[in-house]
């Protein structure tokens, strides 16, 4: 059979292909990469990379090739890993390795520049092996058919090629079948997959849709060998799915900003933690049943012109619905079958807007989205429960429209915040129009409000990711997270950013880093300078921060061993612990987690009783549980920096750390381990400020990620090989 990368159909070889889903990564063919990261001390001299970039020089390109000793058969091409941004403290310029005009999957070379523009870090995931001599024996269509028949999908539809895009992706249309009734976007591209001794010809395939009877969407990336049809790698791109187990406010002088939004936000337009305002940290830093009772007033906010350096608008002039360049926000509706909602919650989930069933919020007057929400009426909110009697969508409901406006506002707010911190078009952000600034357009973020459950679907650049926000089906109060539980919303949004900046799988340490970083962003955006002395006598910024408290009130998991929260047998302390085992805190007397707690080999200290959410407390290696350890270490690092920051400089230092985090994500190696991720964060901070590096290093050491810490093997699932260290010294990669 002739080699073919064009997507033409040369015929299926008829082979039997076996793949396993949700199993240890070692079941598949782990990419074989040479990994290295080099830190350049400030006093060692160096290249003024920023100036060279502005001049259009190829010096950095040549520097990366020379310093990293790339093979002669490989080429470097600028990737979507970033471009100088005016406000970011550090910048990362990224390259990927190509061979014979095809990308090598998993490779990345990153050059980090400090705030003065000098090269401070060179890191790589590269390979020196040649392509397999057999070349491409399967075509794109055959590989796509194999991917569709994987056990995790189990479908046999016929793919039809539609269009190609500028990044080499070939897009396909798939007709629905009984076993795959709602095929979504499908695309594929030819790549090399690095294995021991050779580059395997392969196709990278993104599949979105749903399978019948699973109550779960499908969003997977599969790497299929173009020689023999093996499934080399499979990654679930749905993060934190919740299964359906239950049937300064700009008042005037606002320039030419034409739209206003009634939202839960402060006078500066910053989203509240939840509809009760700034409800963190916990007022006494121990579980006492406290919960806020006074609803915060909503504000009619007109976003400040210049909140983003490019001054790009959220909506075009004359817009009447919540769909713009960055975000398309709407309520997703189910089809009706015999007077009842369809029994499959994802039977028609796109995620793109479908006018037949979906609903966007509309303006209440020209340029104004003025819909109010009353959280005290949450138990009467409108939802569509599968197989239940169908009631019409209340398109005029202020409660429903307020949710849609809130998610639209929050997603755009996060877009603008992180844009100037390094997550721009060239870094692969989500926008319909990229204004010629790099990256691939046509991929605005899709956000569903008032759904049953909460999760994020990540995608590579050029295809829209999605956030699905809604009811916590385990909350007897029927509280809808939507964007009202802003830390949870920020958590899910961070997954979509990480899907563009990192190359992390779903399980093991990679999955834990995904969840933990998302938790940290949700936590960090809650932290305010007024929290410095929230826990008197325990140190600055030692308060207790719950994540997901609003949506978890009156928690009751059917079938677990505990009575519902809020009963006499079980006081409701959701505003203390949220949805994690412990609140996040720099105090180990409040949150005792250290590195070894990613495994069941190290029990919790005596006297600590973790909150159990969805039975996760029994599995310390589960990605959310292990992610708590990573988030705690990140917070310990960041807290040390904020504690040493003078009060007037808090806001700028807070933003600068987020910029350093974005830079660090661009340095994460493929399927990073905890210690590799720690090194990336330390390198990004050290390139900007040596004193802050020492503070951050001490924070990691306090949580057991010190200089002598050893991560479990990359493909470990139970994580029992972990070795923690409390040594506050330079890790090997930074010596």
Distance of CA 107 to the CA centre of its chain: 20
Nearest of 691, 676, 607 to residue 644 by alpha carbon: 691
Cα separation, 341 vs 393, whole angstroms: 12
Token pair recorded at residue 201:
């010809």
Residue pair 423/662 in contact by the 8 Å Cβ criterion = yes
Kindly provide the b/e burial profile for residues 141-154, where b requires at least 16 CB atoms within 10 angstroms of the residue's own CB.
Answer: bbbbbbbbbbebbe
Alpha-carbon 503 to chain mean position: 11
Place of tokens 């900003």: 257
Alpha-carbon distance of 155 to 180, in angstroms, equals: 6
Structure tokens given for 586:
């720099």
The DSSP code sequence of 704-728 is: TBSTT-BPPPTT-SS-TT-B-B---
**β-strands 466-471, 455-457: how paired?**
antiparallel
3-class SS of residue 417: helix
Residue keyed to tokens 């590195």: 595
Instruction: For residue 625, give every residue at least 6 positions away whose Cβ sits within 8 Å of its Cβ, in sequence order, or none.
Output: 581, 598, 616, 617, 619
Q: What residue ranges of the chain have pLDDT lower than 70?
A: 1-28, 43-61, 63-73, 80-88, 152, 154-158, 179, 181, 211-216, 240-257, 304-307
**660 contacts 642 by C-beta, under 8 angstroms:** no
Q: Give the C-alpha separation, 109 to 107, whole Å.
A: 7
Q: How far apart are CA 105 and CA 200, in angstroms?
A: 10
Helix (H, G, I), strand (E, B) or coil at 509: helix
Cβ(371)–Cβ(398) under 8 Å? yes
The answer to pTM > 0.75 is yes
115 CB-contact burial (10 Å; exposed 0-12 / middle 13-18 / buried 19+): middle
Structure tokens at 185: 């976007």
* Domains parsed from the chain with CATH numbers: 59-125 (no CATH), 140-236 (no CATH), 260-501 (3.10.170.10)
DSSP 604-618: PPTT-----STTGGG
Backbone angles phi, psi at 697, to 5 degrees: -60, -40
If 0-12 CB within 10 Å is exposed, 13-18 middle and 19+ buried, where does residue 135 land?
A: middle
CA distance 402 to 483: 10
Retrieve residue 286's tokens: 């121990």
Per-residue model confidence (pLDDT) at position 149: 82
Q: Tokens for 571? A: 């006081």
CA-derived radius of gyration, the chain: 25
Q: Which of 34, 245, 201 is nearest to 101 (CA)?
A: 201
- CA distance to 261, 511, 723, per residue, from 24 (Å): 46, 12, 21
- DSSP collapsed to 3 states, 17-61: CCCCCCCCHHHCCCCCCEEEEEECCHHHCCCEHHHHHHCCCCHHH
Classify 84 in phi/psi space as left (phi over 0), alpha (psi -120 to 50) or beta.
Answer: beta
Phi, psi angles (nearest 5°) of residue 291: -150, 145
**Residue of 126, 106, 124 whose CA lies nearest to 193:** 106
The label of the residue with tokens 């000098």 reads: 118
Q: Any idea which residue has 């320039």 for tokens?
A: 255
Give me 524's structure tokens: 């960090």
Tokens of 678: 């720690």
Closest CA to 119 of 61, 76, 55: 61
- The pLDDT score that the predictor gives to residue 73 is 62
Task: Write out the E strands in 127-256.
Answer: 159-164, 170-174, 186-195, 198-210, 217-225, 231-236, 238-239
The residue among 251, 185, 194 whose CA lies nearest residue 218 is 185
Q: How far apart are CA 616 and CA 512, in angstroms?
A: 13
Cis status of the peptide bond prior to 178, with omega within 30 of 0: no
Written as one string, the DSSP assignment of 646-693 is -GGGHHHHHHHHHHHHHHHHHHPPTT--HHHHHHHHHHHHHTT-HHHH
Q: How many CB atoms lie within 10 A of CB 356?
A: 7
What is the distance between the alpha carbons of residues 400 and 76, in angstroms, rounded to a whole number? 49
The first and second tokens of residue 178, run together, are 């009984």
- Longest pairwise C-alpha distance within the chain: 74
CB burial of 706-726 (b: ≥16 within 10 Å; e: otherwise) equals: bbbbebbebbbbbbeebebbb
The residues that bridge with 452 in the sheet, in sequence order, are 471
What are the tens digits of pLDDT across the range 53-109? 655 566 666 766 666 666 556 788 887 544 555 556 788 888 888 999 999 999 998
3-class DSSP assignment, residue 622: coil
Using the structure block, give the residue that is written with the tokens 């591209």.
189
d(CA 583, CA 546): 5
* d(C-alpha 551, C-alpha 74), whole Å: 50
Q: Answer left, alpha or beta for residue 91, where phi above 0 means left and psi between -120 and 50 means alpha.
A: beta
CB 290 within 8 A of CB 283: yes
Distance, in Å, from the CA atom of 168 to the CA atom of 623, rounded to the nearest integer, reads 33
Query: How many residues in total does the chain contain?
Result: 735
Check residue 414 and report its DSSP letter: H
Residue that has been written with the tokens 């972990």 in this structure:
722
What does the DSSP 8-state code read for residue 283? S
């Amino acid at each position: 059979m002739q080699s073919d990368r064009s997507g033409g159909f040369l015929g299926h070889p008829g082979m039997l292909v076996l793949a396993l889903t949700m199993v240890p990564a070692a079941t598949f063919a782990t990419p074989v990469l040479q990994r290295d990261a080099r830190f350049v001390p400030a006093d060692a001299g160096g290249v003024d990379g920023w100036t060279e970039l502005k001049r259009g020089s190829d010096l950095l390109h040549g520097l990366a090739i020379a310093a990293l000793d790339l093979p002669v058969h490989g080429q470097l091409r600028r990737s979507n890993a970033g471009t100088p941004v005016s406000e970011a403290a550090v910048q990362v310029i990224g390259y990927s390795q190509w061979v014979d005009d095809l990308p090598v999957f998993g490779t990345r070379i990153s050059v980090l520049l400090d705030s003065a523009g000098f090269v401070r870090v060179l890191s790589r995931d590269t390979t020196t092996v040649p392509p397999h001599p057999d070349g491409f024996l399967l075509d794109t269509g055959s590989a796509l058919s194999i991917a569709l028949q994987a056990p995790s999908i189990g479908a046999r539809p016929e793919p039809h090629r539609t269009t190609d895009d500028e990044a080499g992706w070939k897009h396909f249309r798939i007709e629905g079948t009984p076993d795959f009734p709602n095929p979504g976007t499908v695309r594929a591209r030819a790549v090399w997959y690095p294995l021991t001794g050779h580059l395997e010809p392969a196709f990278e395939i993104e599949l979105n849709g749903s399978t019948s009877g699973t109550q779960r969407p499908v969003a997977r990336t599969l790497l299929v060998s173009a020689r023999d049809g093996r499934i080399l790698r499979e990654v679930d791109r749905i993060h934190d799915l919740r299964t359906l187990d239950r049937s300064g406010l700009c008042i005037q002088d606002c320039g030419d900003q034409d739209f206003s939004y009634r939202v839960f936000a402060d006078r500066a337009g910053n989203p509240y933690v939840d509809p009760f305002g700034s409800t963190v940290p916990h007022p006494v830093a121990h579980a006492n049943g406290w919960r806020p009772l006074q609803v915060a007033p909503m504000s009619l906010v007109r976003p400040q012109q210049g909140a983003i350096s490019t001054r790009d608008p959220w909506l075009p002039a004359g817009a009447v619905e919540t769909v713009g360049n960055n975000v398309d926000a709407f309520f997703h509706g189910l089809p009706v079958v015999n007077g009842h909602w369809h029994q499959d919650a994802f039977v028609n989930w796109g995620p793109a807007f479908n006018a037949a069933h979906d609903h966007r919020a509309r303006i209440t007057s020209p340029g104004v989205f003025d819909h109010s929400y009353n959280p005290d009426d949450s138990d009467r909110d409108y939802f569509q429960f599968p197989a239940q009697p169908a009631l019409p969508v209340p398109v005029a409901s202020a409660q429903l429209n307020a949710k849609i406006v809130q998610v639209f506002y929050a997603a755009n707010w996060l877009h603008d915040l992180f844009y100037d911190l390094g997550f721009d078009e060239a870094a692969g952000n989500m926008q319909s129009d990229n204004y010629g600034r790099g990256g691939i357009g046509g991929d605005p973020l899709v956000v569903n409000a008032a759904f049953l459950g909460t999760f994020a679907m990540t995608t590579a650049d050029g295809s829209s990711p999605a956030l699905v926000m809604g009811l916590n089906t385990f909350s007897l109060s029927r509280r809808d997270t939507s964007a009202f539980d802003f830390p949870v919303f920020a958590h899910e949004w961070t997954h979509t950013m990480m899907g563009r900046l990192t190359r992390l799988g779903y399980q093991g340490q990679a999955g834990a880093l995904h969840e933990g970083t998302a938790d940290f962003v949700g936590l960090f955006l809650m932290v305010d300078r007024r929290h410095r002395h929230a826990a008197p006598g325990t140190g600055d910024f030692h308060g207790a921060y719950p994540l997901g408290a609003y949506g978890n009130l009156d928690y009751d998991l059917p079938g677990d061993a505990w009575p519902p929260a809020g009963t006499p047998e079980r006081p409701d302390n959701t505003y203390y612990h949220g949805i994690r085992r412990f609140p996040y805190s720099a105090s180990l007397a409040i949150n005792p987690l250290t590195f070894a707690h990613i495994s069941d080999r190290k029990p919790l200290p005596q006297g600590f009783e973790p909150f159990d959410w969805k039975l996760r407390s029994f599995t310390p290696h589960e990605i959310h549980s292990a992610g708590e350890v990573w988030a705690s270490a990140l917070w310990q690092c960041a807290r040390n920096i904020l504690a040493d920051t003078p009060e007037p400089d808090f806001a700028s230092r807070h933003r600068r750390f987020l910029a350093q985090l974005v830079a660090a994500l661009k340095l994460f190696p493929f399927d990073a381990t905890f210690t590799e991720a720690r090194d990336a964060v330390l390198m990004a901070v050290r390139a900007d400020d040596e004193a802050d590096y020492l503070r951050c290093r001490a924070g990691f050491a306090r949580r057991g990620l010190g200089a002598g810490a050893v991560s479990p093997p990359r493909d470990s699932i139970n994580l029992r090989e972990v070795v923690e260290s409390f040594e506050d010294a330079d890790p090997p990669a930074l010596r």
